[in-house]
Structure 1
Amino acid sequence: MIELLIPPILLSFVLLLIHSYYGLQIIKRNIIFTDLAIGQMAALGVAISLYLFGGKYLYPVSLLFAVFTALLIAYINHKEKSLQEAFIGLIYALGISGVFIVMSKSPHGLEELNNLLAYDILFTSYGDILKVSILYLFIGLVLYFFVRKIEGFLKDVLFFTTFAITLTSSVKLAGVLVVFSILIAPSLIALKLFNKNHILYATAVGSLLILISIILSYNFDLPTGYTIVFINTLSALATILFKK
C-alpha cells in the first residue's frame, strides 16, 4: 500500500507548494474562478488534441489555449476591471461547452472527459513528478525575482501567464476540478484560521486533506480525484460556516 501511495502524496505536495501561492493571490484579488476558466480552456486544448491529433501535441496545444486565455484575462483586468468576473465566467462556459462538443465526437469521450475533470493521481509516475517539480521551481523563481517587483499591466501579464503554465501542467496530471479544489480550499482555510505564514499553512492543510482523501479512496475503492475534490471542498465549506 505504501509504495502505491508515495507518488500521489509527493505529487500533491509539489502541486500544493505553488498552488497555495496562486490560491492566496486569486482569493485576495477576488477572481476565484480564474483558475477554473484557464484550466477549462487548457482542458479544451487537450480535448482538441485528442480528437484531431490522437493525443499528439497535447501539451503545446493545451498550453496555447491556456496562455491565450491568461492574456485575455490580463487585458480585461487592465482595461475593464468591473467586467472581469463576468468575462471569466463566460470563458469558463465557453471552455466547458467546447470540451463537451469535442468529446461528443470521440469514441472514448466519456472516459476522456472524466480524466480531464478529475484524473486518478494514484498512477502518476516519478518521472512526471520530477518534470513538474523542475517546472514549478523555475516558475517560483520567476515569481520571486520578477513578478513581485513590478507593477501595472506587465505584472498582470506575467502573473496570469505563469499561472496558465502552472495550470496546464497541473490539469494534465490531476484534472480541472482537482486543481481548483487544491488551489482554493487550503488557501481559504489558511486565511480563515491563521494570521500569517499562509502559504506554509495552506500547504500543510492541503497535504493533510489530500492524504486523508487518498487513504479513503484506497480503502473504500473510491475515485481518487473526486474524493480529493470532495474532502477539500467540504473542509473549506465547514471552515467558513463554523469558524467565527
Structure 2
Amino acid sequence: MIDILLVPIVLVIILVMLHSYFGMEILKRGIIFTDLAIAQFAALGSSISLGYFHEEHFYLLTLSFALFSAFLIAFASTRKLHLEAFIGILYVLGASGIMMVLSHSAEGMEHFKSLLASDILFTPPMEVAKSAVIYAFIAIALYFIYPKLSGFLKELLFFSLLAITVTSSVSLAGVFVVFVLLIAPPFVALSLNFKKPLLGSFIFGWFFSISAITISYFYDLPTGYSVVFLGAFLTALVVLAASKKALEN
C-alpha cells in the first residue's frame, strides 16, 4: 500500500505548495477563474495534439496555448474592462474548442475525462520528478525576479509562470484538480483569518488531498475526482461556518 500511495502523496504535497501561492495571489486580484481559463487553453492544446497530430508536439502545443491565454489575461488586466467576464469568455472558448476538436476522435471522451481529473494514483515517479524540477525553477523566479518588476511586465511574468505551472499540473492531475488546489486552500485560510495564511493553505490542502487519495485507494474511487470532491466539500463547509451574515438593506 505504501508503495502505491507514496508517489501521489508526494505529488499533491508539491502541487499544494506552489498552487496555494498562486491561488492566494489570484484571490487578492479577485479573478477567481484565471487558472480555469488557462487550464482550459492548456487542455485545448493537448486536445489538438491528440486529435490532429497523434499526440506529437504534446508539451509544445499545451504550453503554447497556456502561454497565449496568459498573455491575453495579462494584457486585459491593463485595460479598462470587466476582467472576470473576459476570463469567463476565455474559459468557455477553450472548453468549447476542446469538445469540437475531440468530437471526431474515438478516444475523445476518455481523453476529456482525464483532462478534467486524472487518476493520479498511478502517476509515474519520473513525471513527478520532472514536474518538481519545473516547479522549483518557477518558485525561484517568483522569489527573485517577480518582486523586482512592475506594471505589465510583472503581470505578464506572473501569468506566464502560472501558465507553465498549469501546463504541467493539468497533464498530471487535470483541470478540476488544479482549480481546487489553487483556490480551496487559500480560500479557507483567508476565511479563517490565519496569521500565516500561506502555511494554513498548505496544511488544509495537504489534509484534504492526502485524505482523498487514501479514501480513493481503499474504496476504489477515481482519485482525481475524490480530491476535487473532498476539497470542494470541506471548503464549502468551513467557509460557510466561518462567514458572517450579510447586512440587510
Tell me if both proteins adopt one fold, taking TM over 0.5 as the criterion: yes
- Which residue of structure 1 aligns with residue 107 of structure 2? 108
* Secondary structure, aligned partner of 2:126: helix
In the TM superposition, residue 191 of structure 1 has moved relative to its aligned partner by 1.2
Deviation string, structure 1 residues 187-217 (Cα, Å, up to 9, x no partner): 1111122433222221111111011101111
2:26 is the alignment partner of 1:60: no
Q: Does the 8 A contact of 2:39 with 2:167 survive in 1?
A: yes
Structure 1's consecutive aligned runs of 4 or more residues displaced over 3 angstroms after TM superposition are: none
- Which residue of structure 2 aligns with residue 7 of structure 1? 7
- Which residue of structure 1 aligns with residue 206 of structure 2? 207
2:134 is the alignment partner of 1:135: yes
Output the CA distance in 2 between the equivalents of 1:135 and 1:110.
29
Output the CA distance in 2 between the equivalents of 1:29 and 1:196.
20
- Name the amino acid aligned to 1:175: G
Deviation string, structure 1 residues 95-143 (Cα, Å, up to 9, x no partner): 0111111111111111110000000001111111111111111111101
Output the CA distance in 1 between the equivalents of 2:101 and 2:93.
12
2:25 is the alignment partner of 1:25: yes
Output the CA distance in 1 between the equivalents of 2:140 and 2:48.
32
- Which residue of structure 1 aligns with residue 74 of structure 2? 74
2:158 is the alignment partner of 1:159: yes
In the TM superposition, residue 166 of structure 1 has moved relative to its aligned partner by 0.4
In the TM superposition, residue 221 of structure 1 has moved relative to its aligned partner by 1.2
Q: What is the aligned length?
A: 243
Output the CA distance in 2 between the equivalents of 1:98 and 1:223.
26
Output the CA distance in 2 between the equivalents of 1:51 and 1:42.
14
5+ residue gaps, structure 1: none
**Pairs within 5 Å for 1:205-244:** 205-244=204-243
Output the CA distance in 2 between the equivalents of 1:148 and 1:205.
27
* Secondary structure, aligned partner of 2:82: helix
Output the CA distance in 1 between the equivalents of 2:161 and 2:38.
11
Q: Does the 8 A contact of 2:31 with 2:84 survive in 1?
A: yes
Output the CA distance in 2 between the equivalents of 1:109 and 1:195.
43
In the TM superposition, residue 65 of structure 1 has moved relative to its aligned partner by 0.2
- Which residue of structure 1 aligns with residue 181 of structure 2? 182
Identity level (%) = 47
TM-score, length-normalised on structure 2? 0.95
Output the CA distance in 2 between the equivalents of 1:174 and 1:118.
6
- Which residue of structure 1 aligns with residue 41 of structure 2? 41
> What is the root-mean-square deviation of aligned Cα atoms in Å?
0.9
Output the CA distance in 1 between the equivalents of 2:163 and 2:181.
16
- Name the amino acid aligned to 1:56: E
Output the CA distance in 1 between the equivalents of 2:209 and 2:27.
21
* Secondary structure, aligned partner of 1:113: helix
Output the CA distance in 2 between the equivalents of 1:149 and 1:18.
20
Output the CA distance in 2 between the equivalents of 1:56 and 1:196.
47
- Which residue of structure 1 aligns with residue 247 of structure 2? none
- Which residue of structure 1 aligns with residue 84 of structure 2? 85
- Which residue of structure 1 aligns with residue 246 of structure 2? none
Output the CA distance in 2 between the equivalents of 1:49 and 1:41.
13
Output the CA distance in 2 between the equivalents of 1:239 and 1:148.
32
- Name the amino acid aligned to 2:182: L
In the TM superposition, residue 226 of structure 1 has moved relative to its aligned partner by 0.6
TM-score, length-normalised on structure 1? 0.97
